[in-house]
Amino acid sequence: GAVVSQHPSWVICKSGTSVKIECRSLDFQATTMFWYRQFPKQSLMLMATSNEGSKATYEQGVEKDKFLINHASLTLSTLTVTSAHPEDSSFYICSAWPMQPQETQYFGPGTRLLVL
C-alpha cells in the first residue's frame, strides 16, 4: 500500500529556533499534500494545502510566515516552523493524495514537536 513518511518523528528545540519537518510519499507521486496539527486529546485541524510547484494555501488563522510550506517535488513537502515558541508544541501530521486517482489520501505517522 501507499506509504507516507515523516521526519523527524520527534523534535525538541529551544524557543526561537526554526524546525523543518519533512513529509515524503515513498511509493507514489502526490500533487497535493496536506498539513494538519493536532493538540492533545483533540482532533486534526487542517493548517494548509500544499500543491507541487505552487504556493501553499493556508487555512484561516494559520500564519503563513510562521509555518513555511514548500512542496518542491511530487514526493516531498516540508513544513518549517520558524522562530518556534512553546505554543507551537504540537503533533504535526501530513497526508498525500496520489496522482493516479485513488479514493483516499494517505497519512504520515506524525511529528511531535516540543519547544522549550
Partner 1 sequence: AQSVTQPDIHITVSEGASLELRCNYSYGATPYLFWYVQSPGQGLQLLLKYFSGDTLVQGIKGFEAEFKRSQSSFNLRKPSVHWSDAAEYFCAVGWNTGNQFYFGTGTSLTVIP
Cα–Cα dist 93/62, whole Å: 15
**15-23, 29-37, 62-70, 78-86 -> range binding partner 1 (CB under 8 A):** 29-37
**12-20, 21-29, 31-39, 71-79 -> range binding partner 1 (CB under 8 A):** 31-39
Of 77, 67, 91, 89, give the one whose Cα is nearest residue 13: 89
Element (H, E) at 19: strand 19-25
110 in contact with partner 1 (CB under 8 A)? yes
Cell of 27: 511509493
Per rule CB under 8 A, count of chain residues that contact partner 1: 24
84, 18 in Cβ contact below 8 A? yes
Cα–Cα dist 10/8, whole Å: 5
**14-22, 65-73, 78-86, 100-108 -> range binding partner 1 (CB under 8 A):** 100-108
82 in contact with partner 1 (CB under 8 A)? no
Binding site for partner 1 (CB under 8 A): 6, 31-32, 34, 41-44, 46, 49, 91, 93, 95, 97, 101-105, 107-110, 112
